[in-house]
Amino acid sequence: MSGIRIGAHVDQTDPIAEAHARNAPLVQFFLGDPQSYKGPEIRYAGGADALRADAADAGVDLYVHAPYIVNVATTNNRIRIPSRKLLQQHIDAAASIGAKGLIVHGGHVNASDDPAVGFDNWRKAVEATDLKIPLLIENTAGGDNAMTRYLDRIAGVWDAIASAEGADMVGFCLDTCHAHAGGNPLETVVDDVRRITGRIDLVHCNDSRDDFDSGADRHASCGAGRIDPDLLAGVVRDAGAPVVLETPGGAAEHSADMSWLRERI
């Protein structure tokens, strides 16, 4: 387990410098404003080509998180159609910098909607998107109408996209805070997810400021929240996938979280 690669979510301006500051082999970041439909922006000096080359030279793996507002499951055309466009733009931008994957939240439908419509909208989105790199769908913490909070909804998404062209390029990102707050026991969540998806491609290792099944997405530093430390480390150990810390603070705090985690896995 000492071979598990651990990094953190960082500022997008100079991800390589951020990785070096944490002695991390991988980093995750946004490309542009995570709350905007304006499209991706690469702020690295020299642009996409320079970032791709410098990351390769430094041995740093790059992951990009899609904007929070992306919701390809919704029945609202004014959200779903721009979301599909934004998803493609971020896939293209992430591919241009050599990213290992694009992480996207599962989205949600309206209270009056049949969840099956949201599942099928996910299928249509996968078919409509040119997946140049893996698309990693992330479980979310709150919302009764969320597509990826509950295990049965995750199964619905996966069953729907299984028939889509490009389904082999869709993976899963398991967030520990989201699982805990979403009401999924961390004792079994790795096996539960793998039974559904067959894979876990990335782990977001975050403690939670709130109780189990609270529905609240509020991250805490490792060991400082409401998740049992052994369970938190156990998810990382059992998943055996690369890890991104989305915990509070900067390089010093992330380095402390990384040390905390390494000691336990």
Per-residue pLDDT averaged across 135-143, rounded? Answer: 97
Mean pLDDT of 119-148: 97
Q: What is the pTM of this model?
A: 0.97
CATH number of the domain located at residue range(s) 6-249 in this protein: 3.20.20.150
Query: What are the beta bridge partners of residue 128?
Result: none
Question: In the chain, where are the structural domains located?
Answer: 6-249
Q: Is 113 exposed, middle or buried (0-12, 13-18, 19+ CB in 10 A)?
A: middle
Cα–Cα distance for residue pair 25/45, rounded to 1 Å: 20
Helix (H, G, I), strand (E, B) or coil at 103: strand
pLDDT tens digits for range 60-116: 999 999 999 999 999 999 999 999 999 999 999 999 999 999 999 999 999 999 999
Per residue in 49-76, pLDDT tens? Answer: 999 999 999 999 999 999 999 999 999 9
Cα three-residue angle 65-226-138, rounded to 5 degrees: 25
